[in-house]
Structure 1
Amino acid sequence: MKHVLIYIYFVIFVFHTSRGQNQTNVPKDNINYNIKDTVTSYGPNRMIRNVKQDRNGNILFAASWGGVFRYDGKSFTNIASKIGSRRYWDVLEDRGGNLWFASTDSGVYYYNGKTFQHFTTREGLASNGVFKIYEDKTGIIWFGTGGGISRYDGQSFRNLTTKDGLPNNDIRTIMEDKIGKLWIATGDGPCFYDGKTFTVLKNKDGKAFNNVRSIIEDKKGNIWLGGSDGLWRYDGGTFTSITQQFIGHIYEDNKGNIWTTGEVKPNRYWALSRYDQKSLYDKTPTVTVIMSTEKMLCGILEANDGSIWFGSLYGVYRYDGKIITDFKSAAGQK
């Protein structure tokens, strides 16, 4: 337990110390198209921060220093083998079927299925430390970086920083709501952007939320915030506290249940939890802890078959409603 906590705190320390930096010592491109993609029967045992699904139903996830993987139901393919080792953090499939890989040490990679294109501060990115990739309803790609927001229209970048009204250049997540506003978590709390101005969101005590890591909009239009101040729901006028435990990621499934990963006090374990849709508006919503572990738990995805995938400090898991499968070894998949 002690050694696990030390490692977790080390990871968090590296994460925080690198976010605000606009690195200039970007690793030299060493894309080798002669290298074949690595294919294995089990996933990596590296940190998986975010999990996504492509249009073909494949599961995509970025493994820090491990690569960017695609799981087709049978095997794991490292589709970043040709790039080499990077601190991958996020992956996105855009509406054209192209893939984007975010790294915290070398900017962004664009992959059209055949060739790669590398974007860094040289090409206009706000920072080479990229932690979030988001595509809005119009097809614009937004990047949350350690140096502000970068907006890419397919031809050039436009950067938004504190000079434009951002409360902080340390960007943690980006989300577009149903009316087109962008919700952004920064180092000084969340804000929303209407295309012209940034408005900082304050809690019911008039203070900014601390260390927000995840923002989603549910089917009813409520905004959910997760971070060091716990899990909150915002209906546009009123804030409701759901839990005060640290929340790292939030996800709404097709049934309207809210899933979270975060710490479980007082033991400082991490948990994958589900808040039942039928009780979300009760004074005390019904919550079920699906899994608790000493390992840090990260991003969440509901796949097309209804299974829940979630990342961790040491790989990726799948919950089918009954069984949790650990993919980092052949034994874990039995």
Structure 2
Amino acid sequence: MVQLMTRGQVHRALAAVVMLALVPAISCTTQEDAARSEQNDSAIRPSTRLRFKTVRSILEDSKGNYWFGSWNEGVARFDGDRLTYFTVEVGLSHNQVRSIHEDRNGVVWFEGGVGISGFDGKKIITPTNRDYTSRDDWRLSPGDLWFKEDGLSRPTEIEAQPGVYRYDGEAFTYLAYPVPQGTAHATTGIARGKSGRVWFATYEAVFGYDGQSFTVIDDESIGLNESTGRLHVRTVFEDSRGRLWIGNNGIGVILHDGHTATQFTQEKGLGFLGPHGGRTVPQPGDVTDGSPTLHRVFSIGEDRAGNIWFGTVESGAWRYDGRSLRNYTAKDGLTSKDILGIYTDRHGDLWLTGNGVFKFNGTSFDRIH
């Protein structure tokens, strides 16, 4: 049985990276197994680092364990004392773990680059109760979990249409987006809003579902075209004030207040020519001298003080306090130029992930891995 720790014990253990231990094989999935393994010196190699090269997602579960999802090396659980690794070799659906969730029964679920898998406290499990016959039966409940389609970048043959899975604690029901069949939407992010609305990001559009109807945000609805740059959405986030932030790989951040959309990145003079959806002609105020920009945004989150954080590719992270933007980079302890995940844990502490794991101390970042 995993022993629960106090907040201070967990945080001291996480901050003291020298205490982390690697488990090269995932034969240990319970505390009893781990204890037996510790008797065999060959089963454990002490290490000061989580062995993942790139971390994409984090979850602190209800037991106080921290889960780290990697770019392509599986998932790891840190119980305050040691790390345990899970990969496709023991049933994980895919070694890329894009997001991690816990259901009301304490099962931890992993959204893989391909498929969905979970951890029931003892072993990796694969969901078998799937419903593909109710594609238009959209519903919304507070305890629902949502997952992207099973395909790496498009629906599988059995899914047929772009959409998402709704897990109600019993079954995974596949639901189709309200778009014409054959439209090439692929899910890139999912976020639940303040009022319970769920937002689904795809490259071409963002869909919001409130339990009754859909809000669709696409190029046409917010006036984007070739000259302004088009949507290429990589993340979506609704903050505590109900504002919707859309992060793009190309035209940066768009802020939607429920009525109008503002090209936030461009208004702040932090745009540039993006590889996807970027403008073909620089505009006045664009940063073109190699300075950090806000045009490739892959993660968005909010800290306990209500500041909005943006994770970019190549330019570290940016914090917006409602008035001004500040860029955090290596000089602030954030040694990863690419920030792929932003997570606020159960205690309100802010974590950033990319080529490392970083925790904000209120002024700068401490590298945990």
Q: TM-score, normalised by structure 1?
A: 0.69
Instruction: Work out the percentage of aligned pairs sharing the same amino acid.
Output: 28
Question: Which 4+ runs in 1 deviate beyond 6 A?
Answer: 31-35
Instruction: Check the 8 A contact 2:222/2:261 in 1, yes or no.
Output: no
The C-alpha deviation readout for 1:37-57, integer Å capped at 9, x for no partner, is 687552123221112222244
Structure 2: segments with no counterpart, 5+ residues: 1-25, 35-42, 134-139, 156-162, 266-270, 272-294
Given that 2:318 and 2:325 are in contact with CA atoms closer than 8 Å, whether structure 1 keeps it comes out as: no
Matched, 1:251 2:301: yes
Could you say which residue in structure 2 is the equivalent of 1:159? 174
Q: Tell me the CA shift for residue 322 of structure 1.
A: 4.4
Q: Deviations over 1:257-298 (max 9, x none)?
A: 0111114xxxxx33122112xxx1x4xx23242546564221
Task: Please say if residues 104 and 169 of structure 2, whose CA atoms lie closer than 8 Å, have aligned partners that are also in contact.
Answer: no
For each residue in 1:150-176, what CA deviation from the matched residue of structure 2 results, as whole angstroms up to 9, or x when unmatched? 122333332222576686441111223
User: Which amino acid letter does the alignment assign opposite residue 100 of structure 1?
Assistant: W
Secondary structure at 1:154 match in 2: coil
Find the aligned partners of 1:156 and 1:172 in 2 and give their Cα distance: 22
Structure with the higher strand share, 1 or 2: 1
**C-alpha distance in structure 1 between counterparts of 2:178 and 2:261, whole Å:** 29
User: What's the CA shift for 1:200?
Assistant: 1.9
Paired AA for residue 316 in structure 1:
V
Q: Is the 8 A contact 1:151 1:159 kept in 2?
A: yes
2:105 equivalent to 1:96: yes
Q: 1:199–1:68: structure 2 CA closer, same or farther, 3 Å change rule?
A: same
Any gaps of 5 or more consecutive residues in structure 1? 1-30, 127-135, 264-268, 329-334
Number of paired residues? 275
Q: Which residue of 1 aligns with 2:360?
A: 319
**Contact 1:68–1:91 (8 Å) recurs in 2:** no
String of CA shifts for 1:209-264, please: whole Å, max 9, x gaps.
5121221111211111111221122111122332132211000111100111114x
- How far 1:61 moved relative to its partner? 1.5
Q: What is the 5 A alignment of 1:129-168? A: 137-145=141-149, 146-147=154-155, 148-162=163-177, 168=184
Residue 261, structure 1, aligned to residue 311, structure 2: yes
1:182 aligns with 2:198: yes
Aligned residues of 1:42 and 1:75 also touching (Cα < 8 A): no
Q: Which residue in the other structure is 1:64 paired with?
A: 71
Preserved contact between residue 168 and residue 186 of structure 1 (Cα < 8 Å): no
Larger Rg: 2
The separation in 2 between residues aligned to 1:73 and 1:311, in whole angstroms, is 19
Map 1:1-334 onto structure 2 (within 5 A): 41-78=48-85, 82-83=90-91, 86-105=95-114, 107-119=115-127, 123-124=130-131, 137-145=141-149, 146-147=154-155, 148-162=163-177, 168-195=184-211, 197-202=213-218, 205-207=222-224, 210-228=231-249, 229-243=251-265, 244=271, 245-263=295-313, 269-276=314-321, 280=322, 282=323, 285-291=324-330, 295-304=337-346, 306-312=348-354, 314-322=355-363, 324-328=365-369
Q: Normalization by structure 2: what TM-score?
A: 0.64
